[in-house]
Amino acid sequence: MRALPAALLLALLLAPHALAQVGSEPVTFLVYRPWPDPRAGSAEADPLASPLAPPPRDVERLPFTLADRAQTAQRAPENAPESALAHYRELSRLVQAREAQGAPLSLTLTGTLATGILEIAASPSEAASVQLVVFEHARAPYAARFVLAPVALAANETTRQSVRLDPAWDAARLGVVAIAERQGETQSATWLVGSTSATVQTRKSVLLEHVTASWCDPCRPVDEALALLAAQRGVAGALVTDEAPSYLRAPSWTLYAGLILGGAAAVALLRRRKP
């Protein structure tokens, strides 16, 4: 088989969706802050930490990223904890591995925004424990704002829950994640305020839950990697804001420089091959 032309190969390597190397189904993202915040009461306290949105489990060390509440991402992938590109590849690997498991059930999720109240309805196709999380995609990507207690539902049973909105939240940029757990397997779905229809997630949607903090310098490379993957695979798309905290800024030039250098190296190797 003939090698791809160098320009085309480089374009494929650098194209955002080609880089993900995973399926077309959306990935579910949630980003939490430690609670209680170890820096609470100091000038370094995380402004997004809240008792209303604790992480899914106790975390002794940051950063912490969990896929489908079953697999934990490596903190130092490729022995390069400082590399956003290495973390990006690690997250993509986790997503691929979890997608291969298939969906244990389908989820239907919808909501209605009234004055100061968000009404949510979720229904699994099979008996499962279902948890709802309200997030804000504004100052930071998929920032968990309100975590509701899980409820046990029968097949096709609907849970209806109400959340009173904090005036500080940007209501237009809110969304809801439904997490269904059944016999050790997980399915998730995302619905955005402003959607004109319910989300019906029949195929596997991998859940990535990430714990970070504004005072966590080692978290920055994986924060950047997650932001890039979320822009590619998340329902809410890329974060557009002029007020994004520095610790969750857009992917830096170093990530893209690494991708360009990697692509150039691949092209050079192909040129050395014989037709």
What are the pLDDT digits (tens) for 25-42? 999 999 999 999 999 999
Q: Looking up tokens 């430690």, which residue turns up?
A: 34
Model's pTM, two decimal places? 0.82
176/92 Cα distance (integer angstroms) = 23
**Per-residue pLDDT tens for 169-202?**
999 999 999 999 999 999 999 999 999 999 999 9
What is the per-residue burial (b if ≥16 Cβ within 10 Å, else e) of 207-230?
bbbbbbbbbbeebbbbbbbbbbbb
Compute the radius of gyration of the chain from its Cα atoms.
Answer: 20
250/269 Cα distance (integer angstroms) = 31
**Per-residue pLDDT tens for 81-120?**
999 999 999 999 999 999 999 999 999 999 999 989 999 9
> How far is the CA of 198 from the CAs of 123, 169, 188, in angstroms?
11, 22, 14
CB 117 within 8 A of CB 163: yes
Instruction: Supply the pLDDT for residue 240.
Output: 73
Domains and CATH numbers, the chain: 26-251 (2.60.40.2470)
The phi-psi region of residue 222 (left if phi > 0; otherwise alpha if psi is between -120 and 50; otherwise beta) is alpha
